[in-house]
């Protein structure tokens, strides 16, 4: 048994009982292990174990859904970090923005990253919707997933809108004032909805706190729920649908 002591330390760790109780797939590069990596991992098992090669091409979907999701991840990470220095009260919120921009180490970078990721997320969500439309990937059985996608688009816009108020500068305040005044114009429920959203008759501290809760808790949870449904449905509907057969030039390869 002298070979064992010759093995490098990492290899010995990998063969240890502790490691093997955590990581349940082997390390040799077989299809079994590749399957297990996906299948037995709670985060990765939203993927199917195998995918069609066609769907991996850039021109299949232009990766727009992926870009949107990547932006959502970046926004969550930077958002949580920003929360450590932000109080949703008036006028402290504005002072915190100044502090983030000039005092906090990398504060300006994180804030900028958050803002640009937000713009990109809205933009790529729109582009993703257009891509799905022009590829006609909403046809049965994918109809309801399109509706879920529209809901996701609305949640994204609301996330962006609620976040817009948080810096409590002139841009934020008046942008939101104008928007909520538009909501007031809705017949029957307009005034009520506005009162509920703002927690009052005017944009004030109450509004800031409500928008903060919406932006940091309710809407992200809604996004997570609908995104899970969306991705799950993509999988159950047969995978990512790109250009359909009649849109592409016909592939060769009839198999008799």
171-210 residues in contact with another protein (CB under 8 A) are 171-175, 177-179, 181-183, 185-187, 190, 195-196, 199-206
Chosen residue from 104, 107, 161, 215 binding another protein by CB under 8 A? 161
Distance, in Å, from the CA atom of 129 to the CA atom of 24, rounded to the nearest integer, reads 38
Distance, in Å, from the CA atom of 25 to the CA atom of 20, rounded to the nearest integer, reads 8
Q: How far is the CB of 24 from another protein (least distance, A)?
A: 14
In 3D, which of 77, 89, 81 has the Cα closest to residue 212? 89
Q: How many residues bind another protein (CB under 8 A)?
A: 97
Chosen residue from 1, 3, 4, 29 binding another protein by CB under 8 A? 29
Contact at 8 Å (CB) between 235 and 242?
no
Cβ closest to another protein, residue 3 vs residue 245: 245
Q: How far is the CB of 13 from another protein (least distance, A)?
A: 22
Restricted to residues 99-138, the positions that interact with another protein (CB under 8 A) are: 101, 108-117, 119-120, 122, 129-130, 133-134, 136, 138
Cβ closest to another protein, residue 132 vs residue 220: 132
31-40 contacts: CB < 8 A, separation 24 or more? Answer: none
Chosen residue from 14, 23, 60, 70 binding another protein by CB under 8 A? 70
Q: Is 140 in the site for another protein (CB under 8 A)?
A: yes
Angle at 169 between CA 163 and CA 173, to 5 degrees: 65
Distances 251 to 53, 55, 89, 103 between C-alpha atoms, Å: 14, 14, 61, 59
Cβ closest to another protein, residue 14 vs residue 199: 199
Q: Is 34 in the site for another protein (CB under 8 A)?
A: yes
In 3D, which of 10, 50, 8 has the Cα closest to residue 31? 50
Q: How far is the CB of 6 from another protein (least distance, A)?
A: 28
Distance, in Å, from the CA atom of 131 to the CA atom of 149, rounded to the nearest integer, reads 12
Contact at 8 Å (CB) between 200 and 207?
yes
Q: Is 233 in the site for another protein (CB under 8 A)?
A: no
Stretch that binds another protein, among 1-9, 15-23, 149-157, 214-222 (CB under 8 A): 149-157
Q: How far is the CB of 18 from another protein (least distance, A)?
A: 23
Distance, in Å, from the CA atom of 181 to the CA atom of 242, rounded to the nearest integer, reads 41
């Amino acid at each position: 048994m002298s070979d064992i002591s010759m093995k490098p330390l990492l290899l010995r760790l990998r063969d240890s009982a502790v490691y093997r109780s955590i990581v349940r797939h082997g390390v040799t590069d077989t299809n079994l292990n590749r399957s297990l990596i996906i299948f037995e991992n709670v985060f990765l098992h939203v993927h199917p174990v195998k995918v069609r090669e066609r769907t991996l091409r850039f021109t299949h979907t232009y990766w727009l859904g992926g870009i949107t999701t990547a932006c959502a991840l970046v926004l969550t990470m930077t958002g949580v970090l920003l929360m450590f220095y932000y109080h949703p009260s008036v006028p402290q919120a504005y002072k915190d923005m100044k502090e983030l921009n000039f005092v906090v180490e990398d504060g300006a970078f994180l804030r900028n990253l958050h803002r640009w990721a937000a713009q990109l997320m809205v933009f790529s969500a729109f582009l993703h919707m257009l891509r799905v439309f022009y590829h006609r990937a909403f046809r049965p059985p994918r109809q309801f997933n399109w509706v879920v996608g529209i809901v996701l688009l609305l949640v994204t816009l609301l996330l962006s809108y609620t976040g817009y108020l948080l810096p409590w500068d002139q841009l934020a305040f008046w942008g939101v004032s104008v928007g909520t005044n538009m909501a007031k114009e809705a017949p029957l429920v307009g005034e009520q909805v506005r009162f509920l959203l703002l927690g009052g008759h005017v944009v004030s501290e109450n509004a800031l706190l409500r928008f903060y809760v919406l932006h940091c808790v309710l809407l992200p949870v809604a996004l997570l729920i609908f995104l899970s449904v969306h991705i799950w449905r993509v999988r159950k509907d047969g995978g990512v649908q790109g250009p359909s057969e009649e849109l592409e030039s016909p592939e060769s390869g009839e198999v008799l």
